[in-house]
Structure 1
Amino acid sequence: MSTIIIAFNNTDIAFNISPKPSMEAVPCSQLYYTVCLLSLHNHHHNFLFNQFHKRMISLRVPAPSSFNLQRLNSQALERRWRLGRDCFLSFSPSCVENRIGLGVRSTKSEMAPFTAAEEETLPEGLQPELMPKHVAVIMDGNGRWAKNQGLQPWDGHRAGVEALREIVELCGKWGIQVLTVFAFSTDNWIRPKIEIDFLLSLFERTLKSELETLAKNNVRISIIGDSSKLPKSLLEVINEVEEVTKNNTRLQLIVAVGYSGKYDVLQACRGIAQRVKDGEIDVEEIDEGLIEQELETNVTEFPYPDLLIRTSGELRVSNFLLWQLAYTELFFAQELWPDFGRNGFVEALMSFQQRQRRFGGRKS
């Protein structure tokens, strides 16, 4: 009998797997209903386990004889562990130890610590002196990726978090100083409430679980956007993360949540108008520099992205960093965000390094 961890929603459940039932083992269908009863407080858990159960009973490939204990998401589990209809699952007593309840615990994925050697290692063809200081990403396509996989939107968002984790790690290793990602726009508030709740919950849990690792890797976290609609618990986590990482210098990760490029400019204008009204400045003093001081991106030394990447094949900027993208190089990738990965990132950087940036000027 081997042990397996099924991971969904940042929660692990440890099971034993065996081709033959044992005294403590139960058929898959019974276990599914048992887990549902244990997890009624979170319908996402029920749904995701249901999806796994459907895939599991549809596969008739014999299970392997051994398995290394580790955290896997449902897609990785399906790729690496083929369960037959005749397999039985049960909780593993050895894995229940130090867990909350019947084998359930919160988990934390970790990035490998950055080393000086890794930081200097670039893929062949990339030149360190031509690397962008600031990369912005519109992480598009999570929902379509999930639909293509026969999954639900929140499965795609979880896969999107894994994709972001890889890009953050690569930025830290390759000397990119700022990474800004469009996580949630003001337009996203019209999505179904169940999806919004999951997205915000996923964001909160990811910040909590990644904080220690990001701090260890000298990554500074900044959150921009309209926070007025965000849950109180999420705001508390955001404040903690920003405070803990504020002095980190290797990489600044800016996450745009509830963000709108139009609103960013609007709130900057309102701020300047108020300063004029209060007599702090004269109208004649208003210039580009003053506006930039009031924009949300005033959290970074490099507010202008050198490179904007958008995945999923869409050819628009979707109300993202409208002021800041004035001279940004654009790269549109066909891959959906969860599929973008290292190869897509290298392709985008190669394209950037082959361009001549003239900023409106022309060489004589």
Structure 2
Amino acid sequence: MALFKTKTNFSTVQAKLKIPDHVAIIMDGNGRWAKQRLMPRIAGHKTAMNTVKKIATAASDLGVKVLTLYAFSTENWSRPKDEVNFLMQLPIDFFNDFVPDLVKNNIRVQIMGDINGLPKGTQIAVKNAINQTAKGTGMILNFALNYGGQVEIVEAAKTLAQQVASGEIVPNDINATLFSRALQTGDLGDLAAPDLMIRTSGELRLSNFMPYQAAYTELYFTDVLWPDYTADNLVEAITSFTSRDRRFGGLNDKYESET
């Protein structure tokens, strides 16, 4: 595919910016993008799929280690049936088209969410993509698919409760580290918490996306609709991230010297 034929040279950008290890994106605005063009909502979702390819490429080229994309939430099932059916077909089309390029570029696919709750065809496409890219040692492209943050926390609590009941651990063993490992991002280790979370389309909320992991995440909101989102927009968000003073509740030398 042409997307990977010529890699954008981000060396200048990387020299000037602090590249976040983990970027999470709430991809919003597909329906509004289509409505503005008097097109059906599914046209926005289809165009959005191409945006995912472009942004995944750009993030990998910039040196991002994990890119987590909010693809389908547990609440999205309430949308019209035809739209949901189309959204369930998108991962099949996306992975059939994009996996060879992911393999060539050393990108590994990972999924968080209730995969078993997806239609069979979607499950197969997702599992095939995970298996086919499993040897990738570069960026992790992590899709939140049939994902809900509150459900994730509840399931983690159940897992730990079962471990207590079976005698594997005692209640006093449970701490932030153990709880984090029980979440669906547990295998990401130190990369589990996003450094930067971006939401497109102008909405100012997290919408049940990684509420535990995002405790100290830098948030960036933009009015750009997801189908229009570009690598330049990603660089703008990272530029904002670079200027942030991340103290994690403490102080740094710069703050103390100024006061």
TM-score (norm 2): 0.93
2:220–2:237 contact (8 Å) kept in structure 1:
yes
Render the CA deviation track for 1:307-329: whole Å, top value 9, x for unaligned.
Answer: 00000000000000000001100
The root-mean-square deviation of aligned C-alpha atoms, in Å, is 1.6
- The structure showing larger relative contact order (alpha-carbon pairs under 8 Å, at least 6 residues apart) is 2
Equivalent residue for 2:194, pick from 305, 315, 338 = 305
2:3 alignment partner in structure 1: 111
Q: CA deviation at 1:156?
A: 0.1
Equivalent residue for 1:265, pick from 141, 150, 153 = 153
Q: CA deviation at 1:170?
A: 0.6
Q: CA deviation at 1:209?
A: 1.5
Structure 1 residue 199 corresponds to structure 2 residue 87: yes
Q: CA deviation at 1:303?
A: 0.4
1:119–1:172 contact (8 Å) kept in structure 2:
no
DSSP-derived class of the 2:114 partner: coil
Structure 1 residue 330 corresponds to structure 2 residue 219: yes
TM-score (norm 1): 0.67
Render the CA deviation track for 1:234-287: whole Å, top value 9, x for unaligned.
Answer: 212211211221221221000001100101111000000001111110011001
Q: Distance in 2 between matches of 1:293 and 1:246?
A: 21
1:7 alignment partner in structure 2: none
2:78 alignment partner in structure 1: 190
Change (3 A) 1:119 1:253: farther
Aligned positions of 1:313-324 closer than 5 A: 313-324=202-213
2:194–2:217 contact (8 Å) kept in structure 1:
yes
Equivalent residue for 1:209, pick from 87, 97, 117 = 97
Q: Distance in 1 between matches of 2:235 and 2:15?
A: 8
2:106 alignment partner in structure 1: 218
Q: Distance in 2 between matches of 1:307 and 1:114?
A: 27
Equivalent residue for 2:67, pick from 164, 172, 179 = 179
Q: CA deviation at 1:299?
A: 3.4
Q: State the aligned residue count.
A: 252
Q: Distance in 2 between matches of 1:113 and 1:152?
A: 32
Aligned AA for 1:320?
F
2:20–2:196 contact (8 Å) kept in structure 1:
yes
Aligned positions of 1:61-100 closer than 5 A: none
1:361 alignment partner in structure 2: 250
1:121 alignment partner in structure 2: 11
Unaligned ranges ≥5, structure 1: 1-108
Aligned AA for 1:295?
L
Q: Distance in 1 between matches of 2:77 and 2:181?
A: 27
Render the CA deviation track for 1:217-242: whole Å, top value 9, x for unaligned.
Answer: 10000011012321112212211211
2:91–2:125 contact (8 Å) kept in structure 1:
no
Structure 1 residue 140 corresponds to structure 2 residue 28: yes
Q: CA deviation at 1:113?
A: 5.1
Equivalent residue for 2:46, pick from 152, 158, 162 = 158
2:19–2:242 contact (8 Å) kept in structure 1:
yes
Unaligned ranges ≥5, structure 2: none
Aligned AA for 1:133?
D
